Structure 1
Amino acid sequence: MHPRIRTIEDYHAAYKQAAEAPDAFWAEVAEPFTWRRKWTSVRGGAFSPEGQSTWYDGARLNITENCLDRHLATRGNKLALIFEPNDSKTRHVRYTYRELHQHVCQFANVLLNNGVEKGDRVVIYMPMIPQLAMAVLACARIGAVHSVVFAGFSSTAIADRVNDAGAEFVLTADGLNRGPKQIPVKSVVDDALQSCPGVRRVIVVEHLGWPVHMQEGRDVWYHNEAENASTTCTAEEMAAEDPLFILYTSGSTGKPKGVVHTQAGYMVWADYTFRNVFQVEENDVYWCTADIGWVTGHTYGLYGPLLAGSTTLLFEGVPTFPDAGRFWQVIDKHYVTIFYTAPTAIRSLMAAPLDHVLSYSLSSLRVLGSVGEPINAEAWHWYHQHVGKGRCPVVDTWWQTETGGIMISALAGVTPSKPAHAGLPLPGVQPVLLNQDGTEIEGNNEEGYLAIKGSWPGIIRTTWGDHERARQTYFTPYPGYYFTGDGARRDADGLYRIIGRVDDVINVSGHRFGTAEIENAINQNQFVIESAVVGYPHDVKGQGIYAYVILEGALPASHAEAQVIEASIIETVVAEIGKIAKPDKIQLVSGLPKTRSGKIMRRILRKVAEGETSSLGDTTTLLDPAIVDEILAGKK
């Protein structure tokens, strides 16, 4: 394997080699993996006008042989997975690499026995339990394409994803625990599948022991199917560029897009970034708190740690149950050494009394990480001081669903780290700042649109069933570059700081939602004619959702009437997308600031939501300038 980066000198040498001799560099990185057949070319098609890249073309492999089989001889009895349940009084479960391998093979055989074949799409809507990890790996084992949907999305959102992926198989559970609540997962799936005629089989894991409706001929219990399923299963041989998974993410249009990652490049990138960013050692116990329904859970909850032969912790619960000390209790209980979480979680725990942190020693911790959105300086200092006790490096990682893995970050204790800054790019990543016309901005102390020059192994390959959408979104805005949609600043030391989205996307608790997607949902409501949604700074979530809504009739005459309508709008958004996308503030308005050509001036709405009302700019060009005064007067 390419020598691990241990010093700043190592970093500069690796960065230089990856830039000057990328084929040799990435061939060396990939060498130690288990390959059925080696590649004929390391990379190809980097940012052709079609926006396509290939990595390790011609190679044949199976990613699960690299996550599991190749560790059996030396790490067979090492812990691979620790499962910490929602209820702190329920016993945790541990799986060695050998045990996990057997469970994955058994799950793979259940899939095969139920008709799943190589290339089939399998949608997984499950709680954070060991069977979710096993299901993902079982799909990869037999060459089926997994598409995990976060088990907080609504039935409508599930149906959209099942139909878009053309999935004939759904894996789910009877229910899930989330803090003090229990949620009937299977019934949400049943609602979704009423509009998914293509689904042939639903496999249900028993988790809560709840009675659920089982549709004859379609639904089967996993435990019944597993009774006679073998615990050995030959891994399917896959081509390097065969799809591994589809993960749906919001864009600036209403329809979620299925980001596709393939086998070999994603594997190499997940492993390389995991080892180097977190400076992983053999005896580390690593905990990424992200749900596997998000890309962070894929790359750094599951694939990255297992590729590296690490011990990864899976947690079913929430950070505040039974109290705000739960994260810290779990860290002490399992001697967690590397902890990777979201700024939203950190900010919500900052609001709790400090005793919740100070009651625990946290002496096992060695590295802290942050993901999902830029971490603000105040949260960074609290995290560093109270969780890391001033001795653990903090890696503030910037990356996206589409990048497959971390792109810009400090390498723990090796490269410079500064509060609110992501840091330096990883070897193989060439970030640039562009001005509006696409010219590169040279030098430090500059800001612009963040784009990436040149391909890297984990780059998005396409959007499922619609390559043109991928091309238009990522590769057409600035030809020759991957366009991130983020603005960034390069400071005096060349460190990158992400300063937010430059398109119509809102980052809520580290999860991206297109404004159009939320507007589409709001507009389904019976009372609503039109809406406009913007993001605004939120103390806990990073960005909140502020919705301006025009109603069918006159504005409500009373506060109580307005409350009923707003509650109804929130209900509609929850039904269409899920609770995670519900607006934080709804302002009922008689009109929106539009140009004479009918374009909504979101810039004005954003300023009002942010409270920056002294710098609205010229409003005289609007169709009805008076509407701005009305909106200002009614601001939430």
Structure 2
Amino acid sequence: MENALLDQPLVPATEALRSTAPVSESEAARLLALEPSEYWLEIARELTWNTPPTTALEGGLGDFRYYPGATGNVSVNCLDRHPPGQTALLYEREDGLRETWTYGELTDATARFAAALQDLGVSRGERVAIYLGNVPEAFIAIHACYRIGAIYSVIFAGFSASAVRDRLEDARPRVVVCTDATLRRGKAVPLKATLDEAVAGLDIPHVIVARRVDPDFPLRGGEHDFHTLLRATTRRAQAVSLEANEPGFIIYTSGTTSKPKGLVHAGIGFLAGAYANVKWALNLRAEDVYWCTADVGWLTFPIFALVGGLAHGATHVIYEGGIDTPSPARPYEVIGRYGVNKVFTAPTALRMLRRAGDAALAGHDLSRLDLISLVGEPLDPETWHWTQGTLGAGRIFLNNTYGQTETGTAWASSMVGLTPTRPGSCGHPLPGYRARVMRGDGSEAKRGELGALTLTEPFPCLARTVWGDHGRYAQTYLSDFPGSYAASDAALIDADGQLWVTGRLDDVMNVAGHRIGTMEMEAALITHPAVSEAAVVAQPDEIKGSVPVAFVVPRGDAQVGEALEAELTAAIVQGVGPIARPARVIVTPTVPRTRSGKIMRRLLRDLLVTGEVKGDLTSLENPDAIEVVRKRIAEG
């Protein structure tokens, strides 16, 4: 990693966030120094239990139990314990539909839907698949599962029928809850039709359909209408007492060459981790109006809204659809309309706003906004400074974090209001986590040295297994560095303890004996005024081992040609050094990306090396981009 990134000054907390921090700076330092097991027992005291924990940890990585013997219920911590009159959800759809739900209304609907599930034969340990967008029914259905001890599995609304089927075949749910459709950039995405194709020939006893787009959407024989079922159920299910390590949900993470992995998270263990994560990464309070822009199908949403967010009792803005529809000004309209003061989003969303131009900001009241937290991929410093200075008028604190589906939290972050950050970094390991960067030979890397990111001790929200295949779990996560969890990401920790995650280990290239991460090269490209987005991948080279190739999406008014490609090559050389000079700069109008906006660098690498793509494509949103990129490569 070049000093151009590491030498940027640390950015302290703003005075506004410092004045509302949940603890003092000295207390934060004490928590950071605690042994993880001691820390997690302290966090447990802030939750509601039937049987409080007396022991933190039994066992070790691969076979551990946190809070053994302790019992409670996630939905009670997220719903019942908050004032019933407090606004819980401010729902808005891209076509303008809006709803408001209080905690009391949400608790009542959850308890009655839980009873309806019980009446359909769903019992403790049974699976329920949730195939929904960002709608209130997702909160109701998921917390109904928590309430009765059912194991839920959220299926991303953008998946194809084959991807949905893979997940249903593996989890074997008794019930699937879906909507007739969801809106996305002005179009109705037919979820129920996709589900019908996916379940053909499968034994799914019950399908419950929330008719959100078409109130007259026809149901098949034996299917249930969500709202009719809810109205007909007057009984409120009691919250069952669950042991802290009982499975709460299964979430699938895509593989590159095989079936997706069903990661199993403990219900109350996940609650503890998500609650603490939101406390530090957002300092979310009951008086906050907060918007998590993630999709319910990605774990970011359960961590920072459905569970961790609700556990703090704040008011949540829930948006269904494309946040840039019908115009790039829509996010600013939503923030102004509801008086949002905290946002959790992805770097991709900020780059989208920056690409749209500053004119979209005009006329919108963003004066209450004082925090934007992020997760999902490395954030380039250029976008960091634009967000902090232009979008936030120098008033906000920008908190880039890092986590994985497997870890169940964004475990690296600033402690908002308490610890500093550095533009482009991911903050520092939060209390309760022990991170180590390793060399290939198993020794620990020095400060500032790029290596493999690992976690050396278990924590409550770490995925416990792969559904039905613990051997795959151990092989995938625990075999590379025995005794540690391997993140498969490249990272370094700088002199101030800030964590820099540069991408997947596959994205670290060895150029003539020099290990170079893609993040600093992409950051150098983003600084060019003609560049909207950039991705750098490795191409095999007989002499150097590998060489970088850059894919660049230009801004709309950019002059594309050989002169621009030369300028971008020079930008990388100047920002990183001559060793990073790209073999090619490929300017393309689009790149393959997931629905959440991440560039799929794996597919770029496949197209560059073999001309074909392989592996799991279920998260690819724009298949047409593959042919566009293939042609651009061939034109070279």
The answer to whether the aligner puts 1:59 opposite 2:39 as a matched pair is no
State the one-letter code of the partner of 1:200: P
Indicate the residue corresponding to 2:242 in structure 1.
Answer: 238
Which of residues 91, 95, 100 in structure 2 aligns to 1:87? 95
Q: Which moved more, 1:5-14 or 1:111-120?
A: 5-14
1:27, distance to aligned residue in structure 2 (A): 1.7
Q: Is the 8 A contact 1:547 1:583 kept in 2?
A: no
Indicate the residue corresponding to 1:14 in structure 2.
Answer: 31
SS in structure 2 at match of 1:432: strand
Q: TM-score, normalized by length of structure 2?
A: 0.79
Deviations 1:392-441 (CA, angstroms, capped at 9, x unpaired): 11110100001111211112232121111002110011111100011112
SS in structure 1 at match of 2:56: strand
Indicate the residue corresponding to 1:262 in structure 2.
Answer: 266
Indicate the residue corresponding to 2:145 in structure 1.
Answer: 139
Task: Provide the rounded CA distance (Å) in 1 between the counterparts of 2:42 and 2:23.
Answer: 17
The answer to whether the aligner puts 1:41 opposite 2:55 as a matched pair is yes
Task: Provide the rounded CA distance (Å) in 2 between the counterparts of 1:337 and 1:80.
Answer: 15
Indicate the residue corresponding to 1:289 in structure 2.
Answer: 293
Change (3 A) 1:535 1:223: farther
1:188, distance to aligned residue in structure 2 (A): 0.5
Task: Provide the rounded CA distance (Å) in 2 between the counterparts of 1:504 and 1:466.
Answer: 28
* Paired residues for 1:379-394 under 5 Å: 379-394=383-398
Task: Provide the rounded CA distance (Å) in 2 between the counterparts of 1:247 and 1:389.
Answer: 38
Q: Is the 8 A contact 1:259 1:463 kept in 2?
A: yes
1:224, distance to aligned residue in structure 2 (A): 2.3
Deviations 1:220-279 (CA, angstroms, capped at 9, x unpaired): 111222222026220122111111010100234321101111022211111111012212
1:536, distance to aligned residue in structure 2 (A): 6.5
Task: Provide the rounded CA distance (Å) in 1 between the counterparts of 2:284 and 2:549.
Answer: 36
Which of residues 360, 366, 378 in structure 1 aligns to 2:364? 360
* Paired residues for 1:331-370 under 5 Å: 331-370=335-374
Gaps in structure 2 of 5+ consecutive residues: 1-19, 509-547, 554-596
Q: Is the 8 A contact 1:489 1:497 kept in 2?
A: yes
State the one-letter code of the partner of 2:72: L
Indicate the residue corresponding to 2:213 in structure 1.
Answer: 208
Indicate the residue corresponding to 1:247 in structure 2.
Answer: 251
Task: Provide the rounded CA distance (Å) in 1 between the counterparts of 2:392 and 2:139.
Answer: 29
Indicate the residue corresponding to 2:183 in structure 1.
Answer: 177
SS in structure 2 at match of 1:24: helix
Q: Is the 8 A contact 1:587 1:634 kept in 2?
A: no
Indicate the residue corresponding to 1:317 in structure 2.
Answer: 321
1:305, distance to aligned residue in structure 2 (A): 1.4
Gaps in structure 1 of 5+ consecutive residues: 506-533, 556-565, 590-630
| Alignment RMSD (CA, Å) | 2.9
Q: Is the 8 A contact 2:128 2:175 kept in 1?
A: yes
1:481, distance to aligned residue in structure 2 (A): 0.7
State the one-letter code of the partner of 2:426: A
Deviations 1:445-481 (CA, angstroms, capped at 9, x unpaired): 2221111111122111111111111111111110111
* Paired residues for 1:513-592 under 5 Å: 539=553, 541-544=598-601, 545-546=603-604, 548=606, 577=618, 579-580=620-621, 582=623, 584-586=625-627
SS in structure 2 at match of 1:283: coil
State the one-letter code of the partner of 1:424: H
Indicate the residue corresponding to 1:488 in structure 2.
Answer: 491
State the one-letter code of the partner of 1:57: P
Change (3 A) 1:258 1:504: farther
Q: Is the 8 A contact 1:64 1:137 kept in 2?
A: yes
Change (3 A) 1:546 1:459: same
Q: TM-score, normalized by length of structure 1?
A: 0.79
Q: Is the 8 A contact 1:79 1:311 kept in 2?
A: yes
Indicate the residue corresponding to 2:516 in structure 1.
Answer: none
Change (3 A) 1:424 1:122: same
Task: Provide the rounded CA distance (Å) in 2 between the counterparts of 1:390 and 1:273.
Answer: 25
Change (3 A) 1:537 1:432: farther
Task: Provide the rounded CA distance (Å) in 2 between the counterparts of 1:162 and 1:536.
Answer: 38
Indicate the residue corresponding to 2:197 in structure 1.
Answer: 191
Q: Is the 8 A contact 2:285 2:312 kept in 1?
A: no
The answer to whether the aligner puts 1:401 opposite 2:401 as a matched pair is no
The answer to whether the aligner puts 1:451 opposite 2:509 as a matched pair is no
1:211, distance to aligned residue in structure 2 (A): 4.7
State the one-letter code of the partner of 1:270: A
State the one-letter code of the partner of 2:468: G
Q: How many pairs does the alignment contain?
A: 536
Indicate the residue corresponding to 1:161 in structure 2.
Answer: 167
1:538, distance to aligned residue in structure 2 (A): 5.6
SS in structure 2 at match of 1:440: coil
State the one-letter code of the partner of 1:53: F
Task: Provide the rounded CA distance (Å) in 2 between the counterparts of 1:483 and 1:24.
Answer: 24
Task: Provide the rounded CA distance (Å) in 1 between the counterparts of 2:304 and 2:343.
Answer: 11
Task: Provide the rounded CA distance (Å) in 1 between the counterparts of 2:138 and 2:65.
Answer: 29
* Paired residues for 1:369-380 under 5 Å: 369-380=373-384
State the one-letter code of the partner of 1:451: T
Task: Provide the rounded CA distance (Å) in 1 between the counterparts of 2:369 and 2:425.
Answer: 22
Indicate the residue corresponding to 1:422 in structure 2.
Answer: 426
Task: Provide the rounded CA distance (Å) in 1 between the counterparts of 2:629 and 2:289.
Answer: 50
State the one-letter code of the partner of 1:317: G
Q: Is the 8 A contact 1:573 1:581 kept in 2?
A: no
State the one-letter code of the partner of 1:453: T
Which of residues 67, 78, 81 in structure 1 aligns to 2:86? 78
1:581, distance to aligned residue in structure 2 (A): 6.7
Task: Provide the rounded CA distance (Å) in 2 between the counterparts of 1:538 and 1:54.
Answer: 46
Deviations 1:330-363 (CA, angstroms, capped at 9, x unpaired): 0010011111111111111211131112331200
1:133, distance to aligned residue in structure 2 (A): 1.4
Q: Is the 8 A contact 1:108 1:233 kept in 2?
A: yes
Which of residues 93, 103, 122 in structure 2 aligns to 1:116? 122
State the one-letter code of the partner of 1:351: R
Change (3 A) 1:537 1:437: farther
Q: Is the 8 A contact 1:37 1:59 kept in 2?
A: yes
SS in structure 1 at match of 2:39: helix
1:213, distance to aligned residue in structure 2 (A): 4.8
Indicate the residue corresponding to 1:608 in structure 2.
Answer: none
State the one-letter code of the partner of 2:124: K
Task: Provide the rounded CA distance (Å) in 1 between the counterparts of 2:278 and 2:296.
Answer: 16
Task: Provide the rounded CA distance (Å) in 1 between the counterparts of 2:335 and 2:193.
Answer: 34
1:4, distance to aligned residue in structure 2 (A): 6.8
Indicate the residue corresponding to 1:634 in structure 2.
Answer: 634
Change (3 A) 1:149 1:348: same
The answer to whether the aligner puts 1:26 opposite 2:30 as a matched pair is no
Task: Provide the rounded CA distance (Å) in 2 between the counterparts of 1:446 and 1:194.
Answer: 52
